[in-house]
Amino acid sequence: MAKQVGITITEHILRQQRENPRATGAFTTLLNELIVAAKVISREVNKAGLVDILGGTGEVNVQEEQVQKLDVFANRVIFERMCHMGQLCCMGSEEVADLIDIPSQYPKGNYILVFDPLDGSSNIDVNVSIGTIFGIYKRESKDANEEVLLDDVLQPGSKQVAAGYFIYGSSTMMVYTTGDGVHGFTLYPSVGEFLLSHENIRIPERGKIYSVNESYCGYWDEKTKAAIDYFKTKDKKTGRPYTARYVGSLVADFHRNLLKGGIFMYPADLKDPKKPTGKLRLMVEANPLAMVVKQAGGYASDGHGPILDVQPEELHQRVPLFIGSRKDVEVAEAFISGKMGPG
Ligand code: P6P
Distance 248 CA to ligand 1 centre (A): 5
Structural domain boundaries enclosing 91: 9-198
Distance 165 CA to ligand 1 centre (A): 16
Query: How distant is the alpha carbon of residue 328 from its chain centre?
Result: 20
Nearest alpha carbon to residue 303 among 241, 223, 248:
223
**pLDDT score, position 65:** 41
31, 143: one domain? yes
233, 156: one domain? no
Residue 341 in domain = no
60, 171: one domain? yes
Q: Which atom of ligand 1 is nearest to the CA of 213?
A: 15
User: Whose CA is closest to atom 3 on ligand 1?
Assistant: 120
Q: What is the CATH number of the domain that holds 305?
A: 3.40.190.80
**pLDDT score, position 52:** 52
When pLDDT is averaged across residues 66-88 and rounded to a whole number, the result is 86
Which of residues 18 and 213 earns the better pLDDT score? 213
Q: Which amino acid is at 197?
A: S
Residue 3 in domain = no
pLDDT in tens, 293-320: 999 999 999 999 999 999 999 999 999 9
User: Which of 163, 198, 233 is the C-terminal boundary of a domain?
Assistant: 198
Residue 1 in domain = no
User: Whose CA is closest to atom 10 on ligand 1?
Assistant: 248
Distance 71 CA to ligand 1 centre (A): 14
Dist. CA 101–CA 90, nearest whole Å: 5
167, 38: one domain? yes
239, 308: one domain? yes
Residue 118 in domain = yes
Q: Which helix (H) or strand (E) holds 133?
A: strand 130-138
**pLDDT score, position 58:** 54
Distance 119 CA to ligand 1 centre (A): 8
Tally of structural domains, the chain? 2
Dist. CA 302–CA 304, nearest whole Å: 6
Nearest alpha carbon to residue 249 among 103, 129, 109:
129
Q: Which amino acid is at 337?
A: S
Q: Which helix (H) or strand (E) holds 73?
A: helix 70-82
In this prediction, residue 229 has a pLDDT band, given cuts at 50, 70 and 90, of: very high
Cβ atoms of 297 and 326 closer than 8 Å: yes
Distance 213 CA to ligand 1 centre (A): 9
pLDDT in tens, 88-100: 999 999 999 999 9
**pLDDT score, position 125:** 75
**pLDDT score, position 109:** 92
Cβ atoms of 131 and 250 closer than 8 Å: yes
Query: What are the helix (H) ranges across 162-307?
Result: 222-232, 250-260, 287-295
**pLDDT score, position 49:** 63
Distance 247 CA to ligand 1 centre (A): 9
119, 19: one domain? yes
124, 65: one domain? yes
25, 98: one domain? yes
DSSP string covering 305-341: SBGGG---SSTT-B--EEEESHHHHHHHHHHHTTSS-
Residue 342 in domain = no
Residue 4 in domain = no
Mutate which of 94, 115, 119, 133 to test ligand 1's pocket (most atoms within 8 Å of Cβ)?
119
**pLDDT score, position 288:** 98
The whole-model pTM stands at 0.93
274, 296: one domain? yes
149, 246: one domain? no
Which residues have any ligand 1 atom within 6 Å of their CB? 119-120, 122, 213, 248-250, 279
- Sheet hosting strand 321-324, strand order edge to edge: 243-244, 209-211, 263-266, 321-324, 299-301
Q: Which amino acid is at 285?
A: E
- In the chain, the largest separation of any two C-alpha atoms, in whole Å, equals 63
Query: What percentage of the chain reaches a pLDDT higher than 70?
Result: 93
Dist. CA 321–CA 264, nearest whole Å: 8
Dist. CA 231–CA 41, nearest whole Å: 36
User: Which of 165, 198, 231 is the C-terminal boundary of a domain?
Assistant: 198
Residue 203 in domain = no
pLDDT in tens, 84-133: 999 999 999 999 999 999 999 999 999 999 999 999 877 877 889 999 99
User: Whose CA is closest to atom 5 on ligand 1?
Assistant: 120
User: Which of 174, 198, 222 is the C-terminal boundary of a domain?
Assistant: 198
Residue 128 in domain = yes
193, 222: one domain? no
- Reduce the DSSP state of residue 160 to 3 states and report it: coil
Q: What is the CATH number of the domain that holds 109?
A: 3.30.540.10
**pLDDT score, position 126:** 83
Cβ atoms of 67 and 56 closer than 8 Å: yes
Dist. CA 179–CA 160, nearest whole Å: 9
169, 32: one domain? yes
User: Whose CA is closest to atom 1 on ligand 1?
Assistant: 248
